[in-house]
């Protein structure tokens, strides 16, 4: 009985300390549930250190990089990662350039999404609303 209790304490302690070291995750603000995919949003893993880097406007718009990604393009942002990568809704992974510029990463993500079947319409809608 004591061994089971000690093992349980070790497991619970190791899980809680792991949670403290987890990456900063900023959930997508909208989902594409109507597609019936297992995960109705994209994931952007980025080497950027904080979300403040995504508070500048996307070129030629009055919309921040963060709002573009999280709201218009249904994308969760995970900061402070080891690499820059976009994971699409169908789980396809796209390696992005190694840069710490949020604007460069966002432009690359927009270009990738514009070539996707459902993403191309999202980009068209965004461009209409931003003008």
Local structure of 70: helix, strand or coil: helix
- Residues near 55 by Cβ (< 8 Å), separated by ≥ 6? 64, 65, 66
Residue 85 per-residue DSSP state: E
Task: Name, in order, each residue with C-beta under 8 angstroms of 60's C-beta and a sequence gap of 6 or more.
Answer: 130
Is there a contact between 110 and 68 (Cβ–Cβ < 8 Å)? yes
- In sequence order, the 6+-apart residues with CB closer than 8 A to the CB of 62 are 130
pLDDT in tens, 3-32: 544 443 444 444 333 333 455 999 999 998
Q: What is the pLDDT of residues 52-83, one digit of tens each?
A: 999 999 999 999 999 999 999 999 999 999 99
Domain ranges of the chain: 23-130
Mean pLDDT, rounded, for 95-113: 97
Alpha-carbon separation of residue 73 from 24, 100, 107, 124 (angstroms): 19, 21, 12, 11
């Amino acid at each position: 009985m004591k061994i089971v209790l000690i093992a349980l304490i070790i497991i619970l302690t190791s899980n809680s300390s792991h949670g403290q070291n987890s990456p900063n995750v900023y959930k997508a603000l909208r989902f594409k549930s109507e597609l019936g995919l297992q995960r109705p949003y994209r994931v952007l893993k980025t080497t950027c250190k904080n979300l403040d880097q995504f508070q500048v406007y996307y070129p030629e718009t009055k919309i921040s990089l963060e709002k573009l990604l999280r709201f218009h393009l249904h994308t969760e942002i995970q900061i402070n990662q080891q690499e820059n990568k976009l994971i699409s809704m169908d789980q396809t992974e796209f390696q992005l350039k190694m840069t710490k510029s949020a604007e460069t990463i966002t432009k690359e993500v927009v270009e990738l999404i514009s070539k996707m079947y459902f993403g191309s319409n999202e980009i068209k809608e965004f461009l209409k609303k931003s003008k």
